[in-house]
Amino acid sequence: MIEVNSLSKAFKEVKAVDNISFTVKSGEIVGLLGENGAGKTTTLRILATMLKPTGGTAKVNGFDILTEDSKVRSQIGILFGGEVGLYDRLTARENIRYFAMLNGLSKEETKENIDELVKALEMEEYIDRRVGKFSRGMKQKVAIARSIVHNPKVMLFDEPTMGLDVTAARIVQNFIFNCKEQNKSIIFSSHSMVEVEKLCDRVIIINKGKIVESGTINELKQKYNNKDLEEVFISLIGGDTRDK
C-alpha cells in the first residue's frame, strides 16, 4: 500500500508538487495524469526516494520515505519509459544480476529469480548477450526483469511504453496486469488515455503540482457528463476542448 500525506516539492520558487495526498491499495492500479511539468515524475521520484520532499511525507508498505528510505527501496520496483538506463557493455543477465545484488538477494535467490524471469519473458535467446545492440523492445524486457527481480510489493511506472512498438507495448501492459494479479500496489503515469482506460482502476489528475480531481474513469465521465476521458482531462486542466 502507498500512503501519500501532504507531499510537496519545490525547486527554488517553483512548486513542482504542491501538498498532495492520496492512497493506493494492494492490487490496485492508479493512473497519474497530467501534462508535462505537472508534477507526475517528481512525485514518483519522491516515492522512489530519489528526491527528498520539501514538505509532507509518504509511506510505502508502512515504511516512511524520510526515515526508512532503505526499507522503502526494498519494497519498490521502477519502470520508466524512454531511456531505460541499462549498462550496454554488460549482458542482459549481468544487468539483472547487478540490481538483484543491490537489493540484497543471495546468489541462490538471484539465480533462481533470473531463471524464472528469463522463461516468463522469453529471453532465452539473448539473455547472455550484451545489451548495447538490443532493440528497444528487448531492452524493455530486460528493464522489466530488473525492476522485479527482488519481488517488490509496489510498482512505479512512468510512461513505460514510450517509444515502443505495438508488440513491445503489449508486453509491458500484460506485465502491469500481472503485477495487479500478484496484489502489488501500482502507480501508472502515461499520456495515452487509451492505455489509462485499459489499465487503471482509478485516476488522479494533477495540474501545476496540485490534485484537481480523482476517481474511477466511469465516475469522472458521469460527473462531467462526457464519455471521452481526454475531453474530461483537458477541461480539468484548463485547456480548450474545441476543435481547431
Query: What domains are there in the chain, each with its CATH number?
Result: 2-236 (3.40.50.300)
- Please say whether the dihedral angle defined by the alpha carbons of residues 213, 217, 219 and 224, taken in this order, is positive or negative: positive
The cell numbers describing 68, all together, are: 526508512
Strands 210-215, 202-207: parallel, antiparallel or unpaired by DSSP? antiparallel
- One digit per residue, the tens of pLDDT, for the chain of length 244 reads 999 999 999 998 899 999 999 999 999 999 999 998 899 999 999 999 999 999 999 999 999 999 999 999 989 998 877 666 899 999 999 999 999 998 889 999 999 999 999 988 889 999 999 999 998 888 988 998 998 899 899 999 998 888 788 888 888 898 899 899 999 999 999 888 999 999 999 999 999 999 999 999 999 999 999 999 999 999 998 765 443 3
Stated pTM of the model: 0.87
The cell numbers describing 127, all together, are: 539473455
The confidence score (pLDDT) of residue 140 equals 85
State the first-to-last Cα distance of the chain, in angstroms, to the nearest integer.
Answer: 42
Distance, CA of 36 to CA of 51 (rounded, Å): 18
The confidence score (pLDDT) of residue 239 equals 64
Distance, CA of 195 to CA of 177 (rounded, Å): 12
Distance, CA of 5 to CA of 84 (rounded, Å): 29
